[in-house]
Chain A
């Protein structure tokens, strides 16, 4: 009974982590002289129980979920893709180039081609750290981090140079033609169909990881590269596969920001979705289904933050601090697995001990 309870407490560790982070966030809100309860009511009420707020949450959910998957998938193999941000930028760039200069295909074909451009852009950008990791054992954390800044500069250059719209007051590209816009899913709002694709992608990945040999071997490589090599699995191929698919998903996020929301490429259009993807992947414990839940929560934080600022006067930057706190506590929670087994052993020992005592008393 106690063990069962402990196991539940342990399984819900991400939830506890979020609650502790929110509690510390409440203290921070108190320092601004506002009521934490009112602030959180505005935050979550606005994000999930309001028509416009919900649409804003769905708009954020699309890039966040794809970025979360982009981090979670390589993580299964033991690789830290801190470069989803750069991959989003390159995806947005490639999709815009395809949209503006590519062949004009009718209907859905045009949308698919544009999205493929995004997938390719993200994959190309992820291929650099993947190759360097696989063939030169270069630390992928540092390479992906540095490449983020390169990608942001490339997009910034593109929208203020070759792609810049004529007569634009500040750097952005020409608008892409309306046949390439993603359909809207909630009348009179910005919520677009990209979010449905993102959820389908998460479900698909979940099935692939759980039920296919590809998913199984990816996890084996992550768990024990030496054993995997011994079993005839190519560690290099798995590094490439997981990073390229991850990068492609991040690229798709960038493409959907252009095709579904902004309809043109802007300088600094991503606003840190790639870094939020890291938070989401950890919050979800790299589980694809968990990623949907975690991304929804994070999207709610993002969209509710503005409402909280307007209605309760608490600065939106609080949400940034909350994200950091959440990672700290989730990461700490993940580390507690060995502690749990120690507790479990202790309880087990206590139980056998009391059973022995009872037996002695009975006899």
Chain B
């Protein structure tokens, strides 16, 4: 990995691909932070990414515009987050079960609908997507410029989303309420906050955010929709939420860490064609587990996360 730093061109390429590979994780992890801070453990991130990817392909396929793809992707994300919210907030279904249900349903329904709505068998045809736009001046900074400021619109959107979520969470009264509801819903209820209302809002917005991860996959990375294309990214994002200590910036850093290892393993695959690629493919997953092991014990999870809050029970 060290030889990268002697070759500027290679370093830029490596860091760009690390950023691109972490993008779907970042959107999903922000969604995870938001919903877990409000007290809802969201195992459904994987399904939400997949639904966002399908929505992006659907919208773009029928209109020819990637912007429509973004809208449809986010809308379908919210639509899929709705049953998740109803199950875990109103009905008191175990949140892990609800998330698993959302994932399984998303896996089936996107594959089923893709054949009907996009006429695809396993892959769609190539879709128009977002292309890199170089930001003047900023993109000419050595190394950092081309890596950070020669990206597409969705990456710039992520630059806005991370600080926006951070400011919302830590600098606004609404953010305080959200964190409080995830920490001690009963006290919030007594103080006159709507526990269910706040949680619904967070889970639904999280649905749109996580779906953006899938939108990015389709409209910026591969330009096709394929069945099961989320391939475990939602689960790595779940780990990133814990690793980033339920903080948007922490989650961003954790996702970038995985992105770097993912880019690194791709590089290793490329450089060592005689070594079976599967040895390298496991790297991001193993790193996730090791990172979790290393930070465990200093667990600062929102206290009410995963717990159903029922107003009438005492």
* B242 pairs with A154, CB closer than 8 A: no
Q: Report B-chain residues with C-beta under 8 Å of the C-beta of A147.
A: 285, 289
B40 smallest CB distance to A (angstroms): 14
A276 smallest CB distance to B (angstroms): 9
26 contacts between A and B (CB under 8 A): A32-B116, A80-B96, A82-B100, A137-B299, A138-B293, A141-B43, A146-B239, A147-B285, A149-B235, A149-B282, A153-B282, A156-B278, A157-B279, A278-B100, A317-B112, A317-B115, A318-B112, A320-B104, A324-B103, A327-B97, A327-B105, A328-B83, A328-B98, A332-B93, A335-B91, A335-B94
Measured CA separation A327–B94 after assembly (Å): 12
Any B CB within 8 A of the CB of A183: no
Any B CB within 8 A of the CB of A334: yes
Any B CB within 8 A of the CB of A275: yes
Encoded as 1 (CB less than 8 Å from any A CB) or 0, chain B from 99 to 122 comes to: 011111111110110011000000
* B112 pairs with A138, CB closer than 8 A: no
* A328 pairs with B111, CB closer than 8 A: no
B35 smallest CB distance to A (angstroms): 15
Measured CA separation A157–B292 after assembly (Å): 25
* A331 pairs with B105, CB closer than 8 A: no
Please tell me which one of the listed residues A145, A154, A331 contacts residue B282 in the complex, with CB atoms under 8 A apart.
A154
* A332 pairs with B288, CB closer than 8 A: no
Q: Report B-chain residues with C-beta under 8 Å of the C-beta of A142.
A: 235, 238-239, 242, 288, 292
* A136 pairs with B297, CB closer than 8 A: yes
Q: Report B-chain residues with C-beta under 8 Å of the C-beta of A136.
A: 293, 296-297
* B96 pairs with A279, CB closer than 8 A: no
Q: With A145-B235, A157-B278, A321-B109 as known contacts, state yes or no: A335 contacts B293, CB within 8 Å.
A: no
Q: With A142-B235, A146-B239, A324-B101 as known contacts, state yes or no: A318 contacts B108, CB within 8 Å.
A: yes
Any B CB within 8 A of the CB of A193: no
Q: Report A-chain residues with C-beta under 8 Å of the C-beta of B303.
A: none
Encoded as 1 (CB less than 8 Å from any B CB) or 0, chain A from 145 to 167 comes to: 11111100110110011000000
Q: Which residues 307-337 of A sit at the B interface, judged by CB distance below 8 A?
A: 315, 317-325, 327-328, 331-332, 334-336
* A331 pairs with B87, CB closer than 8 A: yes
Measured CA separation A334–B93 after assembly (Å): 7
CB-CB nearest 3 A-B residue pairs: A324-B105, A320-B108, A321-B108
B123 smallest CB distance to A (angstroms): 14
Measured CA separation A321–B108 after assembly (Å): 4
Output the nearest chain B residue to A151 by Cβ-Cβ distance: B282
Measured CA separation A168–B104 after assembly (Å): 34
Q: Report B-chain residues with C-beta under 8 Å of the C-beta of A134.
A: none
Q: Which residues 23-49 of B sit at the A interface, judged by CB distance below 8 A?
A: 43
Measured CA separation A160–B226 after assembly (Å): 24
* A332 pairs with B293, CB closer than 8 A: no
Measured CA separation A157–B94 after assembly (Å): 36
Output the nearest chain A residue to B111 by Cβ-Cβ distance: A317
Any B CB within 8 A of the CB of A132: yes
Any B CB within 8 A of the CB of A338: yes
Q: Which residues 50-89 of A sit at the B interface, judged by CB distance below 8 A?
A: 80, 82
Q: Report B-chain residues with C-beta under 8 Å of the C-beta of A139.
A: 242, 292
Q: Report B-chain residues with C-beta under 8 Å of the C-beta of A143.
A: 289, 292
* B278 pairs with A331, CB closer than 8 A: no
Any B CB within 8 A of the CB of A282: yes
Q: Report B-chain residues with C-beta under 8 Å of the C-beta of A317.
A: 108, 111-112, 115, 227
A residues near B (Cβ < 8 Å) are 28, 31-32, 80, 82, 132, 136-139, 141-143, 145-150, 153-154, 156-157, 160-161, 275, 278-279, 282, 315, 317-325, 327-328, 331-332, 334-336, 338
Most chain A CB within 10 A, of B102, B276, B313, is at B276
Output the nearest chain B residue to A337 by Cβ-Cβ distance: B92
A291 smallest CB distance to B (angstroms): 16
Encoded as 1 (CB less than 8 Å from any A CB) or 0, chain B from 60 to 104 comes to: 000000000000000000000001000100011110111011111
Count B-side interface residues using an 8 Å CB cutoff: 47
Measured CA separation A323–B106 after assembly (Å): 10
Measured CA separation A138–B296 after assembly (Å): 7
* B285 pairs with A146, CB closer than 8 A: yes
Any A CB within 8 A of the CB of B17: no
B68 smallest CB distance to A (angstroms): 22
* B104 pairs with A323, CB closer than 8 A: yes
Measured CA separation A174–B50 after assembly (Å): 36
Measured CA separation A286–B55 after assembly (Å): 35
* A146 pairs with B236, CB closer than 8 A: yes
* A321 pairs with B235, CB closer than 8 A: no
Output the nearest chain B residue to A319 by Cβ-Cβ distance: B108
Any A CB within 8 A of the CB of B232: yes
Q: With A82-B100, A142-B242, A153-B282 as known contacts, state yes or no: A325 contacts B116, CB within 8 Å.
A: no
Q: Report B-chain residues with C-beta under 8 Å of the C-beta of A31.
A: 116
Any A CB within 8 A of the CB of B300: no
Q: Report B-chain residues with C-beta under 8 Å of the C-beta of A325.
A: 105
* B101 pairs with A338, CB closer than 8 A: no
Encoded as 1 (CB less than 8 Å from any A CB) or 0, chain B from 248 to 280 comes to: 000000000000000000000000000010110
Q: Report A-chain residues with C-beta under 8 Å of the C-beta of B111.
A: 315, 317, 320-321
* B104 pairs with A331, CB closer than 8 A: no
Most chain A CB within 10 A, of B83, B115, B227, B278, is at B278
Q: Report A-chain residues with C-beta under 8 Å of the C-beta of B131.
A: none
Q: Report B-chain residues with C-beta under 8 Å of the C-beta of A157.
A: 276, 278-279
Q: With A142-B242, A149-B285, A157-B276 as known contacts, state yes or no: A335 contacts B92, CB within 8 Å.
A: yes
Q: Report A-chain residues with C-beta under 8 Å of the C-beta of B232.
A: 145-146, 148-149
Any A CB within 8 A of the CB of B137: no
B94 smallest CB distance to A (angstroms): 7
Measured CA separation A147–B286 after assembly (Å): 8
Most chain A CB within 10 A, of B104, B232, B297, is at B104
* A28 pairs with B112, CB closer than 8 A: yes
Q: Report B-chain residues with C-beta under 8 Å of the C-beta of A279.
A: 104
A315 smallest CB distance to B (angstroms): 5
* A331 pairs with B101, CB closer than 8 A: yes
* A153 pairs with B292, CB closer than 8 A: no
